[in-house]
Amino acid sequence: PRLANQIAAGEVVERPASVVKELIENSLDAGATRIELEIERGGHKRIRLRDNGGGIAKDELKLALSRHATSKIATLDDLEQILSLGFRGEALASISSVSRLSLTSKTPEQSEAWQASCEGREMDVSIVPAAHPDGTTIDVADLFYNTPARRKFLRTEKTEYQHIEDVVKRIALSHPQVGFTLKHNNKVMRRFAAVKPENQAQRLAQVVGQKFVDNATALVLEHQGMKIQAWLGNHNMLRSSNDCQFSFVNDRGMRDKLILHAIRQAYEMSYGAVEQPAFVFYLTVNPKDVDVNVHPAKHEVRFQQSRLVHDFICKAVFDALCEECG
Ligand code: ADP
Ligand code: MG
């Protein structure tokens, strides 16, 4: 099973930041309102996440780590299928096959916490009692220690950390009601206190800065069942802002080409050629009209009526920018 998991992991655990993303998404699924991340050496030495979510019951700990059945990759066709499924139900199994992973958790119903870790080639799971409040801690140490080829692709500690911070920022921007703490090498790098969903601008200020929020053009627009909420940087904020491009579809962070193209085109129409516009952009559409599982890492979406969505975005952004510049 270890080898099978490693094959899947090779495709989906690209780098420490992809681990962080999967772990945070699990915590959100578990209803956590506080998520604390401790990163060491760009995540390559250690990624530790602690949450206050619903926890994992003792008799489900093993299942959480070993959901990936070997029989699934009996043939090459099957392997293709698993890879295209990406991480669905595979994240922890995959991550634990390329790291030293331990899972400590307590549900409110249990009087004590339990810790599970994987060992050996067959990934036998051992379970021992532990001390832990309600919620879960996942500790991922020595990522890629047993897959040298993967490890070679890791960039510098600083670069890997930047990717992690980017993931945390993106998720924080779509979950204002969750508090986040991000430490790197024992230093608190980011702290986003929980805010009410209606105070989204406050979360924006925490993540991208009060200055951006104060100077950006705010846009809220609904049309034919689609909704845009956006903060658009004006032409004075364009330079060195490529680290401030965040787009979301139904609250999932995306780097969707169609959306980026539509926004870019609107900026070009408003200001002429523009290098890197800064924006935080939320699109809400009927889930029926969008497929969010096109890309295994889930960065791209497919709209049923892509032209319509593109033009809606482009026009909305153009109108908002033009109103601003008069
Ligand atoms: P998936 O999220 O697709 O189900 P994962 O491998 O990411 O697959 O997680 C396996 C299972 O472990 C989840 O379905 C969930 O039951 C449990 N789990 C993982 N992380 C947490 C967490 N932080 N809190 C509670 N349960 C968790
Ligand atoms: Mg998951």
Q: What is the per-residue pLDDT across 99-150, written as a single tens digit (0 to 9) for each?
A: 999 999 999 999 999 999 987 666 778 999 999 999 999 999 999 988 887 7
Q: What DSSP state is assigned to residue 66? A: -
CA distance 293 to 32: 24
* Structural tokens at position 127: 């379970």
Question: pLDDT, tens digit, for every residue of 275-293?
Answer: 788 999 999 998 888 877 6
Token reading at 179: 């508090």
Pick the more confident residue, 326 or 254: 254
Higher pLDDT, residue 305 or 151: 305
Structure tokens at 224: 């034919």
Give the number of other CB atoms < 10 A from CB of residue 288: 8
Residue 65 reports pLDDT greater than 90:
no
The token duo for 251 is 């609250």
The pairing of strands 217-223 and 100-106 is unpaired
Q: What is the pLDDT of residue 121?
A: 61
Q: For residue 298, is it left (φ>0), alpha (ψ between -120 and 50) or beta?
A: left
User: Going by CA atoms, what residue is nearest to atom 7 of ligand 1?
Assistant: 91
The closest residue, in CA terms, to atom 8 on ligand 1 is 89
Please calculate the CA angle 181-279-213 and round it to the nearest 5 degrees: 65
> Cα of 92 to ligand 2 centre, how many Å?
7
Whether the pLDDT of residue 307 is over 60: the answer is yes
What average pLDDT does the structure give for the chain?
Answer: 86
The model's pTM: 0.88
pLDDT for position 289: 85
Kindly give the pairing relationship between strand 179-184 and strand 34-40.
parallel
Please state the atom number of ligand 1 nearest to the C-alpha of residue 93: 6
Q: Is 28 exposed, middle or buried (0-12, 13-18, 19+ CB in 10 A)?
A: middle
Atom of ligand 1 lying closest to residue 94 CA: 6
Of residues 326 and 172, more confidence is placed in 172
CA–CA dist 136, 105 (Å, integer): 4
Most ligand 1 atoms within 8 A of CB, residue of 26, 62, 63 to mutate: 26
Mutate to test the pocket of ligand 1, among 61, 92, 104, 140 (most ligand atoms within 8 A of CB): 92
Residue 78, pLDDT > 50, answer no
Looking from the CA of residue 90, the nearest atom of ligand 1 is 6
Closest CA to 14 of 85, 94, 108: 94
Pocket of ligand 1 (CB under 6 A): 22, 26-27, 30, 51, 53-56, 64, 67, 88-93, 136
Residue with tokens 């994992």: 56
Residues lining ion ligand 2 (Cβ < 5 A) are: 26, 91
pLDDT at residue 218, rounded to an integer: 94
Report which residue type is found at 247.
S
Determine contact, residues 295/246, Cβ cutoff 8 Å.
no
Place of tokens 């506080």: 34
Closest CA to 132 of 198, 55, 196, 202: 55
Quote the pLDDT of residue 80. 43
Alpha carbon distance 214, 210 (integer Å): 6
Q: How confident is the model at residue 236 (pLDDT cuts 50, 70, 90)?
A: low
Write out the two tokens for 103.
Answer: 């899972």
The count of residues in the chain is 326
In the chain, the amino acid numbered 262 is A
What number does the ligand 1 atom closest to the CA of 92 have?
6
Could you give the residue ranges of the DSSP H alpha helices within the chain? 2-12, 16-29, 58-65, 76-85, 91-97, 148-152, 157-174, 200-208, 210-215, 257-271, 306-325
Q: Which ligand is nearest to the CA of 94?
A: 1
The whole-angstrom separation of Cα 178 and Cα 81 is 34
Distance from CA of residue 135 to its chain's centroid?
Answer: 20
Least confident span in 8-17, 18-27, 69-78, 305-314: 69-78
DSSP characters over 171-217: HHHH-TTSEEEEEETTEEEEEE----GGGHHHHHHHHH-HHHHHHSE
d(CA 70, CA 288): 33
ipTM for the complex? 0.99
